[in-house]
Amino acid sequence: MKKILMDKNGYALITTLFILILISIFGLAIISITTSNFYMTKVDSRSQSSYYIAEAGVNYVIDKINTEAHRNVSKYETSEEFFENLEDHFLRNAFILDNFEINNGQQPKAIINVSRVSMDEDTRDYEIESVGKIGKSTRTVSSIISVNWNKQVNDSTLDLILYTNKF
């Protein structure tokens, strides 16, 4: 019995196997953490990109409204005619922007809807809601803009003011 306990021929092999198993467990844990971190970074990147796509959609429609309003403001004698034209262009259908660069193999797009929030005689408030999509990731940005139309009494020019609150 003493001879078996004193014999240390297999001790180095058992120690080496134990250390190898521990190193393997630590290696698998590091690979798992790295893979999880990579996946979370990719999801966060798509989420951020979706937000910027949605924000670009809002800015696109604000620019289109501004351009349309300034181009046609002198055609109309009343604010009612002016706002009818503006709403015909922007409130009827959703806008879809899909001319963005491919992002991680996915085609980004923004779906933008404009709706009237309130109206006075010479002022209309519109909400612009844009949903940015990249794959399964979606983000929504909305903004309320006011369009104010005034016909000046002493001057034949029309003054159009377009402003927005923060996003």
Per residue in 57-109, pLDDT (tens digit) is: 999 999 998 888 888 777 888 888 888 888 888 888 888 998 888 877 889 99
pTM over 0.85: no
12 has a pLDDT exceeding 60:
yes
Lowest mean pLDDT among 55-59, 133-137, 150-154: 150-154
Contact assessment for residue 46 and residue 87, using Cβ atoms and an 8 Å cutoff: no
Contact assessment for residue 46 and residue 103, using Cβ atoms and an 8 Å cutoff: yes
Q: The tokens of 140 are what?
A: 């929504």
CA–CA–CA angle 70, 75, 76 (5° rounding):
100
pLDDT digit string, tens, across residues 15-31: 999 999 999 999 999 99
| pLDDT for the residue 158 | 47
- 4 contact partners, CB below 8 Å, separation of at least 6: none
Beta-sheet strands, E only, within 22-157: 95-97, 109-119, 123-134, 137-151
pLDDT digit string, tens, across residues 102-133: 877 889 999 999 999 988 888 899 999 999 99
